[in-house]
Chain A
Amino acid sequence: MDAMDRDILLALAGDGRLSAGALGRQFGLSQPAMWRRIKRLQDAGVLKGRRLRLNSAAVGFGVTVFLGIKLATKGRVSLEDFERAITAIPEVQSVDHVLGLYDYRLRVVARDLADFERVLRRRIMTLPGVGDIESNVLLSEERRMGPI
């Protein structure tokens, strides 16, 4: 990783559709030279694909809630059962297995608070082994470029 690799990562994190030609013009490299750099970053696993960023409120999902979940019963089987069941819920965007106050951290989207309550009560609280649950409603969010 040199300074130009960092610049390329920053540019692609802002707009993942930039072509090798466009990036090359921006940073003073030929298209093939830029293509090789991008390929190297992909091969090293640093660039692992692209993601469409949607405004979730604009597509009808106005509420995002983060849940901390503690399992009441533990053991390998119950962890696997829980993980399989929780990842199958479409409103659950992300599931992180964590160490600390909770066992899992979830990001859940819903149309509104009533819809969230339905997902929480009917889909999540009914899962086997679920113990303590804490909900925090997301108010604002910003992603930073990070230590590139």
Chain B
Amino acid sequence: MLDDVDRRLLRLYQSDPDLNLADLATQAGLSAAKATRRLDKLAQSGVIEGVEAVIDWAALGYVVEVSLRVALDKTQTRAFDNFIAAARAVPQVIEIQTFLGRVDVRLSVLARDMADYQQLYRDHILTLPHIADIEALMLVSRIKDETGVPL
């Protein structure tokens, strides 16, 4: 279980992953050795999964992002497995999520422009197996984007 010091450490690290260990330790009121020990423990227990670089897809020319909400044909026993395996093979798919609710699976897909999206949708999305229904939400703007949790 996390204690208050762990939480403080994670809160600081989460708000600024560029902090070096010395600064992180100072701000958390810990010695560098103690901070290191705690961070190592949090990484070993799987609380910290890692630090990743954030890639701006628009800067790479992928300015269209669409969220595709898919209902699957559940009479097919392997609908989820087959659909997800096929979706993984489409490089423009950047997120695959499964849900309990009206939506079974959601894909986030990237395209360079609307013509590119149309081609992707027709040739690689609609051809995915066991789709019963599909709805698209096109991203206009990202108002808030924090993967952090309110620790």
* A residues neighboring B (CB under 8 Å): 1, 9, 12-17, 44-56, 58-61, 66, 68, 83, 86-87, 90-102, 104-105, 109, 134-148
Contacts and interface: CB of A to CB of B under 8 A. Distances in A.
A61 B48 CA distance: 14
A49 to B, nearest CB: 5
Nearest to A135: B101
26 contacts: A9-B55, A15-B51, A45-B56, A47-B53, A48-B56, A48-B59, A49-B18, A49-B54, A51-B53, A55-B49, A58-B45, A66-B106, A83-B143, A86-B143, A95-B142, A96-B137, A97-B143, A98-B140, A104-B143, A105-B67, A135-B101, A136-B106, A142-B95, A144-B88, A145-B91, A146-B62
Nearest to B150: A90
Contacts of A47: 53-56
B143 A147 contact: no
Contacts of B150: 61, 90-91, 109
Contact of A97 (B7, B141, B148): B141
B127 to A, nearest CB: 18
Contacts of B96: 141-142, 144
A50 B54 contact: yes
Contacts of A94: 142, 144-147
A17 B51 contact: yes
A11 B107 CA distance: 23
A140 B7 CA distance: 25
A51 B92 contact: no
Nearest to B106: A66
Contacts of B135: 100-101
Contact of B50 (A53, A96, A145, A147): A53
A56 B148 CA distance: 9
B137 A105 contact: yes
